[in-house]
Amino acid sequence: MTTRTIPTGPAGRLAPLWRTAASARRISRILTYISLVAAAGVVVGPLLTVFLTSLKTPRELARGGVFSLPGDWLNLSNYLTAFENGNMLVAFGNTAFILVFSVTGTIVIGTMAAYAIDRFHFRMKRLVIALFLMATLVPGVTTQVATFKVIDAFGLFDTRWGPILLYMGTDIVSIYIFLQFIRNIPVSLDEAARLDGASSLKIYRSVILPLLKPAIATVVIIKGITVYNEFYIPFLYMPSEELGVISTSLFRFKGPFGAHWEIISAGAVLVILPTLVIFLALQRFIYNGFTAGAVK
């Protein structure tokens, strides 16, 4: 981060008159660090114990306390069990399938809507904008009872296409992100292309879409993480075990692995690990993306 903040140099550089103030600052600084370390401990502690548990054998788990270290740091047998008996391979496959189609669909739908709304004058434009605006106020969880009947009527219940359509069709935040970016693309570029004889579709494809790349990256990140984490929709629309995504397959660990915390922990770590890797690799984009998404 490049933001500059208050220059708070070492206490020694301050004038003697300020010495008491400086030592007060030092104490407050120490308290600040204590609070930060405590908060970090609260965040990391639960995750770390689950990670430790995932490497233990059932015997170790029964004997040692929660914070004891595993005997063999490379004991991956729990992970193998989670993968094989817990259906996690199928789950990652289904999640990837749904992810690819719903993210692509969201981008196509969002950019098309943003292009039409920002670049054209047409009758009832205000009504269209109002329809999209009002929909942001309707929280998805409230309407699922009735949405379920719509998906069922299309015969899409218990297929992967039900959730894909819902992810694509109800993401208005993405349309907003595209709208904000498209406004900053100069209209003169469209006009120049049009003078060269390009059709609207051509302009959308070869002028607008390439210039929307940063917005597309933002949407891919937010949408990708949201879909990866979604539990409610796949739980409701895809009850079949072979259609499990990572959330629902992990949820099913509760039954068969009941008290086997080492296997449940391995399953949880398997789900968390990709998120950690993505976060470490794309930190800055993720902060920006979620900020843009929340503030719309």
Partner 1 sequence: MALTRLSSPSASPPRSVPAAPTRPGRRWITPWLFLAVPLIMLVTFTYVPVANMISYSFTDWDGVSPDKDFVGLGNYAQLFTRPELFQVFSVSLFYLVASFAQIALALYFATVLSFRLRLRNLFKGVLFFPYLLNGVAVAFVFLYVFQPGGTLDGLLRLFGVDAKIFWLGDPDLVNVSLAGVSIWRFLGLNFVLFLGAIQSVPAEIHEAAELDGASRTQVFRHIIVPSIRPIISLSVILGVSGALSVFEIPYVMTGGSGESRTFVIQTIKLAFQFNKMGLASASAVVLLVAILLITWVQRRLIPEERPETR
CB neighbours of residue 155 within 10 Å: 10
Please state whether 234 falls in left (phi above 0), alpha (psi between -120 and 50) or beta.
Answer: alpha
Q: Name the token pair of 232.
A: 């409610």
- By beta-carbon proximity to partner 1, the closer residue of 100 and 273 is 273
- By beta-carbon proximity to partner 1, the closer residue of 100 and 150 is 150
Q: How far is the CB of 69 from partner 1 (least distance, A)?
A: 13
Considering only residues 58 through 117, tell me which ones interact with partner 1, judged by CB under 8 A.
Answer: 65-67, 108-110, 112-113, 115-117
Considering only residues 117 through 176, tell me which ones interact with partner 1, judged by CB under 8 A.
Answer: 117, 119-123, 125, 128, 131-132, 135, 137-139, 141-150, 165-166, 168-170, 172, 175
- For residues 26 and 11, what is the distance between their CA atoms, to the nearest angstrom? 8
- For residues 51 and 268, what is the distance between their CA atoms, to the nearest angstrom? 9
Q: How far is the CB of 157 from partner 1 (least distance, A)?
A: 12
- By beta-carbon proximity to partner 1, the closer residue of 35 and 77 is 35
Q: How far is the CB of 28 from partner 1 (least distance, A)?
A: 7
Q: Name the token pair of 170.
A: 């109800």
Contact 163, 233 (CB under 8 A): yes
Q: How far is the CB of 55 from partner 1 (least distance, A)?
A: 14
Considering only residues 225 through 284, tell me which ones interact with partner 1, judged by CB under 8 A.
Answer: 225, 228-229, 231-232, 236, 246-248, 250-251, 253-254, 261, 264-265, 267-268, 271-272, 275-276, 278-279, 283-284
With CB under 8 A as the rule, give the number of residues binding partner 1: 111
Q: Name the token pair of 95.
A: 């999640």
- Residue 118's nearest CA partner among 44, 179, 41 is 179
- By beta-carbon proximity to partner 1, the closer residue of 25 and 76 is 25
Considering only residues 30 through 49, tell me which ones interact with partner 1, judged by CB under 8 A.
Answer: 32-33, 35-36, 39-40, 42-47, 49
Q: Does 15 bind partner 1 (CB under 8 A)?
A: no
- By beta-carbon proximity to partner 1, the closer residue of 3 and 240 is 3
- By beta-carbon proximity to partner 1, the closer residue of 16 and 139 is 139
- By beta-carbon proximity to partner 1, the closer residue of 46 and 71 is 46
